[in-house]
Amino acid sequence: MIRNLHRSAALALALGVSLTACGNDDGPAEYQTAYTNHQPLHVTGYPSTGSLGTVQQIVWHLADQDAEALAALNTEGGDAGAEARAWIKAYGADAQGKVTADFLDEGSVRQDVVLHFAESRRTQELTVRIGDDDTWGVVLDDPHPTPEPR
Please report, in tens digits, the pLDDT of each residue of the chain (150 residues total): 555 444 444 444 444 444 434 444 557 788 788 878 888 999 999 999 999 999 999 999 999 999 999 999 999 988 999 999 999 999 999 999 999 999 999 999 999 999 999 999 999 999 999 998 899 999 998 888 777 766
For 78, which DSSP code? S
What's the pLDDT score for residue 15?
Answer: 42
* pLDDT attached to residue 29: 84
**Contact present, 146 and 90 (Cβ < 8 Å):** no
Give the DSSP H or E segment for 39: none
Measure the CA–CA gap between 100 and 96, rounded to whole angstroms.
12
- Distance in Å from the first CA to the final CA of the chain: 51
Longest dimension (CA), the chain: 58
What number of residues does the chain have? 150
User: What ranges in 1-150 are assigned the alpha helix state H?
Assistant: 2-21, 28-36, 49-64, 67-72, 81-91
The secondary element (H helix, E strand) that includes residue 127 is: strand 122-130
pTM of the model: 0.78
Q: Which residues contact 47 (CB under 8 A, 6 or more apart)?
A: 55, 101, 103, 107, 111, 113
| Identity of the residue numbered 66 | D
CATH 3.10.450 for domain 39-147, yes or no, is yes
Amino acid at residue number 9: A
Task: Evaluate whether 67 touches 60 at the Cβ level (below 8 Å).
Answer: no
pLDDT reported for residue 36: 85
